[in-house]
A and B are shown apart, each in its own frame.
Chain A
Amino acid sequence: GDQVKQSPSALSLQEGTNSALRCNFSIATTTVQWFLQNPRGSLMNLFYLVPGTKENGRLKSTFNSKESYSTLHIRDAQLEDSGTYFCADDTNAYKVIFGKGTHLHVLP
């Protein structure tokens, strides 16, 4: 099975609403990265996490290593938040393992 499972696989949100994306790990994980791939294909770094929580503007991410999951919270969704969100297990020396992504569409 997949070592990094993301859910949901796709999501539509009304502008101004909140949501949470989830990433589950099947093996022990110590470091997580979250990325946003915009419609042009560019991968933007969102968060780089050891266990705990980080916040940046309308985005917040938590990583619970004991229960092997990470979440990305989006507050007050905007049209420019649309794209594909990837989480990645950054634990295994140099071999980052990516999830399959959550395709987010923010509706006006």
Chain B
Amino acid sequence: GGIITQTPKFLIGQEGQKLTLKCQQNFNHDTMYWYRQDSGKGLRLIYYSITENDLQKGDLSEGYDASREKKSSFSLTVTSAQKNEMAVFLCASSRLGGDAEQFFGPGTRLTVL
């Protein structure tokens, strides 16, 4: 087994601010993902990284950057926080393979003032 940790758990920022969310996994998984979940809704993919030096855009990448620092860590940056971005950001990881089972972290709740 393994765990995924996300920091911080709660993030409060000002409109227009650049904000960074971090994710670490100890599954030794190759692939990592960032999702956004708006209140009462499903998850939408922002960015993913198939292997350590890879970065791929998801359906919701505009307004975000991502960085895969090493195999175990994947960061997401909100480039300019907007009030309509109040949401929970979930990190996930999986073994290599497009249909592999994904495991999720506990999430970072973002509030923009």
Q: Which residue numbers of A lie inside 8 Å of B, CB to CB?
A: 4, 30-31, 33, 35, 40-43, 45, 48, 86, 88, 90-96, 98-101
Report chain A residues within 8 Å CB of B42.
Answer: 4, 86, 98-101
The yes or no answer to B101 lying at the interface (CB within 8 A) is yes
B31 and A94 within 8 A (CB): yes
A91 and B99 within 8 A (CB): yes
Number of interface residues, chain B, beta carbon within 8 A: 25
CB < 8 Å neighbour of B90 from A4, A43, A88, A94: A43
A100 to nearest B CB, angstroms?
A: 5
CB < 8 Å neighbour of A98 from B43, B50, B99: B43
| Shortest beta-carbon contacts, A-B, top 8 | A93-B98, A98-B42, A43-B104, A48-B101, A31-B99, A98-B43, A100-B42, A94-B98
Q: In the complex, A12→B7 CA distance in Å?
A: 34
Report chain A residues within 8 Å CB of B101.
Answer: 33, 45, 48, 90
The yes or no answer to B106 lying at the interface (CB within 8 A) is yes
B104 and A94 within 8 A (CB): no
A41 and B99 within 8 A (CB): no
Q: In the complex, A40→B103 CA distance in Å?
A: 17
CB < 8 Å neighbour of A90 from B44, B56, B99: B99
A33 and B43 within 8 A (CB): no
Report chain B residues within 8 Å CB of A40.
Answer: 106
B58 and A95 within 8 A (CB): yes
Report chain A residues within 8 Å CB of B11.
Answer: none
Which of A43, A94, A99 lies at the interface centre, i.e. has the most chain B CB atoms within 10 A of its CB? A94
A94-B50, A99-B42 in contact; A42/B107 too (CB < 8 A)?
yes
A96 and B106 within 8 A (CB): no
Interface residues of B in 36-55 (CB under 8 A from A): 40-45, 48, 50
